[in-house]
Amino acid sequence: MGPRRRRARISAPTLVALAMGVGLIVLSRLLASAQSPPRPGSLRTVLWDFPQTPVGPMRAVVMLPTGAPQGARLPLLLALHGWGETLRGVERGAFGWSRDYELGASDRELRMRSLRREAFLGHVDEGRFQQLRRDLAARPYRGVVVVAPFTPDVLGADAGTLQSGFDRWVVETLVPRARRELPVLADRAATGIDGVSLGGLHSLEIGLAHPEVFGVVGALQPAVRGRIDRVLSRYVPSPSRPPQRVRLVTSRGDVYRRDVSALDAAMRARGIAHDLRVVAGPHDYVFNRGPGGVEMLLFHDRALRGMPAE
């Protein structure tokens, strides 16, 4: 037998150095992302703080179009952010749509003379792009007032209590204040709710439960996995129930695509009128900043004015 080979061992200092190296690489990428300049936008923001609500202190970020005609009243859209921003807490998380998703940049892109591919950050099919471009040329985008509240986590064990409290606060406090203080149309037909991922789940539950408040309900990549029955239970059929425009949006790279398709089938089986659109993009920030923001704003710009979506 030959001499026994000694196993190569990595010393503790070397392991520490490797870990530090990997950490520095990750940190440098995070810093590079954080230092990327935000795209210019066309929405100015106002903060609303609510020290006491049924779910604790809350904050909402109001986004107003900078170029709106003097005295004009616009439709009202409540936009709810995703779970990542929920983890950041009330003060920072409420800026999800305005800062992290750059909704003002999407608004600005829609106001340009001709829609650009850059608005979608590389995630748009050619057919969809040309369709929206033609539609905007024929019917210029006019915009909406957006109110984006902090979105609490309703995916945990105390979801029922949080959801009911948040639902009550949105309907009884947030929407009435928006109608009193903002240049918005104060009727249900011109009031919409939408959101992405966790926010999409919220928008479906609140919107479907309150047709007397919301004439339009949308959901982008809603986190409905294991919660389809919960969403359906919010829709109570009645001969006197006001009609609603409801739209589900998923994408080919959406982790919830199968779940959204299952919800679509379940809603059709129950006769709940709605539309489903499948677009390009992943379940990630680039979707929210690109196709998600564009699709949401353009849909509500049309639907809240009683116009065909496209």
Q: Which domain holds residue 216?
A: 39-303
Under 8 Å between Cβ of 104 and 63: yes
Q: Check whether 19 has a pLDDT greater than 90.
A: no
Q: Establish if 309 belongs to a structural domain.
A: no
Q: What is the CATH number of the domain that holds 61?
A: 3.40.50.1820
Q: What is the pLDDT of residue 14?
A: 41
Q: Establish if 13 belongs to a structural domain.
A: no
Q: Establish if 113 belongs to a structural domain.
A: yes
Q: Establish if 87 belongs to a structural domain.
A: yes
Q: Establish if 126 belongs to a structural domain.
A: yes
Task: With cut-offs at 50, 70 and 90, classify the pLDDT of residue 26.
Answer: very low
What is the β-pairing status of strands 76-80 and 275-282?
unpaired
Q: Establish if 7 belongs to a structural domain.
A: no
Q: Establish if 137 belongs to a structural domain.
A: yes
Q: Establish if 271 belongs to a structural domain.
A: yes
How confident is the model over 248-278, as pLDDT tens digits? Answer: 999 999 999 999 999 999 999 999 999 999 9
How confident is the model over 176-203, as pLDDT tens digits? Answer: 999 999 999 999 999 999 999 999 999 9
- Give the separation between CA 264 and CA 211, rounded to whole angstroms: 19
- Structural domain total, the chain: 1
Task: With cut-offs at 50, 70 and 90, classify the pLDDT of residue 161.
Answer: confident
34 conformational bin, left if phi > 0, alpha if psi -120 to 50, beta if neither:
alpha
